[in-house]
Every structure is written in structure tokens, then in C-alpha cells.
């Protein structure tokens, strides 16, 4: 009984903290662009919705561009690591650092909208390898990319930079490409859709291997305890998925 009271108190505290964090996020995202995933025409969303066939979540996603030196305090820690170009918080809030390179902005937006889409569409938190593999695969789609464009005010001048993925992201992208090449697009898409809408992302059955997940009564009880713990931890920490782009070097052409 005593234990139940402690759990209820902890939950109340967590909820209060969560409400405060959400209201700070709502303040930071005042005036943000509102995106409806059911009608959005950004390419990564179109693929997930129309090609893979994952029913689009109805929640509105807020997208806002911030300047690095004018970040609201609620976002500072998300951008503390060097190379982070965008973050998606709770699948609902997307913050993107201002860049003058249009194509870079588009790729970051594509990347973050994948996080938002699959986070909102899944009944359970998706593991990091699946989140980042998805986001990288459906946005940049390769290890490194050069973004360049002409400077309008200075004819004949180009500005650009090369963005290279961190090693962990490269590996996750490789995993996705390997799965796709091994089983083909049709089977891959069917598995991917099921993975997102069930939250079960084990790729072994897709590859014809025995799944590790054999739900027994004991295992499912253990899983629900784990789930509660995960919920508490998640609520305290504010679930965030960080788009981590590392820039190799800046380039100017004249
Ligand atoms: Zn990401």
C-alpha cells in the first residue's frame, strides 16, 4: 500500500514536471510552422505515408528555425553537442538551426519529420538504431553530402559545405541498406510498416532468422515493469531524438 502511494506521488511529481517542460516548449515554439502529416508534401513524409503506407498521425507537428546564439533555454542542452543541426522532441516539436543553405535545411527537415512521423505513429518507443537509421535513410540517404548554392548578392560566388554523418549513423544507414538490398523493396516496406505500427522492430524474421522475442507470460510481465520504468525515465528526461550532423569543413567558391 505504502509502495503504491510512493509510486502515485512520484507520478504526480513527474506529471507536474512534464507539464512545466511542455509549457516552456509551447512558449519556445510560439509562431512555429504547423505541419499536418496527412497532407505534408515533404518527400520523406510522402514516402512513409504513400509508399510504405503507414497511416499518418493526426497530431500537428511544430517546426521552427532558431539562431544558434538566440536559442531559448529549453533547447540549449539539445544543441549542446557540436554538429547537431536539428532536434525532434516528443515527435511534436522540431527545432532546426538556421542555415543559409536551402538544401541542407530541406534534408534536416526531412530527417526530423521522419522522427516525428514514426514516433507519433508507433505505440511504443522505437530504439535509437531504428530511429536514426530511418531518419538518415529517408533524408540524406548517404554518408556525406555537399550542399552548395550561388550567393544571390554576389554573382559568380558559390557558398557551400560538406556534411558527414557520425560513425554510428553511418552504421545505422548501412543496416537499413543491407536489409533493403537483401529482401527487396516490397518485403522491406511491409516489414518497416509493421515495425512502426506495432513498435516491434526485430529484423530477424525479415531475414528468415529466428526471432529473439518469444513472448511468454513471465517475459511479458517483465516487459510491462520495464515499460513503466521506461515511461517514468522518459517523462523525466523528455524524450528527444537528436539529428546529429557533423560538418567536415566549410567551403567558399569564387
Ligand atoms: Zn536523427
Q: What distance in Å separates the CA atoms of residue 46 and residue 43, rounded to the nearest whole number? A: 5
Query: How many structural domains compose the chain?
Result: 1
CA 166 – ligand 1 centroid, Å:
11
Q: Which residues form the domain of 149?
A: 33-218+241-253
CA of residue 20 to ligand 1 center, whole Å: 25
CA of 109 to the centre of ligand 1 (A): 10
pLDDT of residue 245: 39
What spacing in Å lies between the alpha carbon of 108 and ligand 1's midpoint?
9
Q: What is the predicted pLDDT for the residue at 189?
A: 97
pLDDT at 249: 31
- Domain-embedded: residue 195: yes
pLDDT value at residue 240: 36
pLDDT at 246: 35
**Does 14 reside within a domain?**
no
Separation of 2 CA from ligand 1 center, angstroms? 41
Ligand 1 centroid to Cα of residue 254, in Å, is 33
* Contact call for residues 89 and 78 (beta carbons, < 8 A): yes
Q: How much is the pLDDT for 1?
A: 63
Q: How wide is the angle at C-alpha 140 spanned by C-alphas 135 and 141, nearest 5°?
A: 80
224 domain residue, yes or no:
no
What pLDDT does residue 242 have?
38
Per-residue pLDDT, 218: 53
Question: How far apart are the CA of 120 and the centre of ligand 1, in A?
Answer: 15
Name the β-bridge partners of 160: 148, 251
Q: Which long-range contacts (CB under 8 A, 24 or more apart) does 78-85 make?
A: 78/240, 78/242, 81/242, 81/244, 82/246, 83/166, 83/244, 83/245, 83/246, 83/247, 84/242, 84/243, 84/244, 84/245, 85/163, 85/243, 85/245
pLDDT at 38: 98
Does the residue 71 lie in any domain?
yes
Whether 50 is in a domain gets the answer: yes
What pLDDT is attached to residue 6? 74
Report how far residue 120's alpha carbon sits from residue 48's, in angstroms, rounded to the nearest whole number. 12
Ligand 1 centroid–CA 72 distance in Å is 21
Beta carbons within 8 Å of 74's beta carbon, 6+ residues apart: 21, 24, 25, 27, 28
Assigned domain for 236 exists: no
CA dihedral 141, 142, 143, 144 (to 10 degrees): -110
How far away, in angstroms, is 5 Cα from ligand 1 center? 38
Cell of residue 98, nine digits:
538556421
166: number of Cβ within 10 Å: 14
- Gap from CA of 177 to ligand 1 centroid (Å): 17
The confidence score (pLDDT) of residue 138 equals 96
- Position 22 in a domain: no
Inside any domain, residue 11: no
Of 167, 179, 175, 56, the C-alpha closest to 113 is 56
Residue 237: per-residue pLDDT: 39
> Distance (Å, rounded) from C-alpha 10 to C-alpha 88?
26
CA of 106 to the centre of ligand 1 (A): 14
Distance 241 CA to ligand 1 centre (A): 6
Q: What is the pLDDT of residues 91-125, one digit of tens each?
A: 999 999 999 999 999 999 999 999 999 999 999 99
Map grid coordinates 518527400 to a residue: 43
The alpha carbon torsion through 239, 108, 175, 184 (nearest 10 deg) reads: 120
Give, for all 254 residues of the chain, the pLDDT tens digit: 677 777 777 777 777 777 777 889 999 999 999 999 999 999 999 999 999 999 999 999 999 999 999 999 999 999 998 889 999 999 999 999 999 999 999 999 999 999 999 999 999 999 999 999 999 999 999 999 999 988 888 888 888 989 999 999 999 999 999 999 999 999 999 999 999 999 999 999 899 887 765 555 555 555 555 555 554 444 433 333 333 333 333 322 21
Centre of ligand 1 from the C-alpha of residue 80, in Å: 15
pLDDT tens readout for residues 139-159: 999 999 999 988 888 888 888
What pLDDT was estimated at residue 23? 87
Report residue 114 as a C-alpha cell. 521522419
Amino acid at each position: 500500500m505504502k509502495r503504491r502511494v510512493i509510486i502515485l506521488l512520484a507520478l504526480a511529481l513527474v506529471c507536474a514536471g512534464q507539464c512545466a517542460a511542455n509549457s516552456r516548449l509551447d512558449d519556445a515554439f510560439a509562431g512555429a510552422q504547423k505541419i499536418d502529416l496527412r497532407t505534408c508534401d515533404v518527400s520523406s513524409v510522402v514516402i512513409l505515408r504513400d509508399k510504405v503506407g503507414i497511416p499518418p498521425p493526426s497530431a500537428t507537428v511544430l517546426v521552427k528555425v532558431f539562431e544558434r546564439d538566440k536559442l531559448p533555454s529549453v533547447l540549449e542542452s539539445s544543441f549542446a553537442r557540436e554538429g547537431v543541426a536539428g532536434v525532434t522532441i516528443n515527435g511534436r516539436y522540431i527545432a532546426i538551426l538556421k542555415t543559409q543553405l536551402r538544401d541542407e535545411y530541406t534534408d534536416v527537415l526531412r530527417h526530423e519529420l521522419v522522427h516525428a512521423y514514426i514516433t507519433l505513429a508507433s505505440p511504443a518507443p522505437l530504439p535509437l538504431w531504428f530511429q536514426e537509421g530511418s531518419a538518415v535513410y529517408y533524408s540524406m540517404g548517404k554518408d556525406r553530402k555537399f550542399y552548395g548554392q550561388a550567393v544571390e548578392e554576389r554573382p559568380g560566388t558559390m557558398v557551400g559545405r560538406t556534411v558527414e554523418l557520425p560513425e554510428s549513423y553511418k552504421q545505422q544507414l548501412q543496416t537499413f541498406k543491407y536489409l533493403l538490398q537483401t529482401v527487396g523493396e516490397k518485403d522491406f516496406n511491409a516489414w518497416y510498416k509493421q515495425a512502426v505500427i506495432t513498435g516491434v522492430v526485430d529484423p530477424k524474421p525479415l531475414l528468415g532468422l529466428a526471432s529473439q522475442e518469444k513472448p511468454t507470460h513471465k517475459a511479458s510481465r517483465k516487459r510491462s515493469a520495464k515499460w513503466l520504468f521506461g515511461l517514468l525515465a522518459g517523462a523525466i528526461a523528455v524524450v528527444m531524438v537528436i539529428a546529429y550532423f557533423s560538418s567536415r569543413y566549410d567551403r567558399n567558391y569564387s
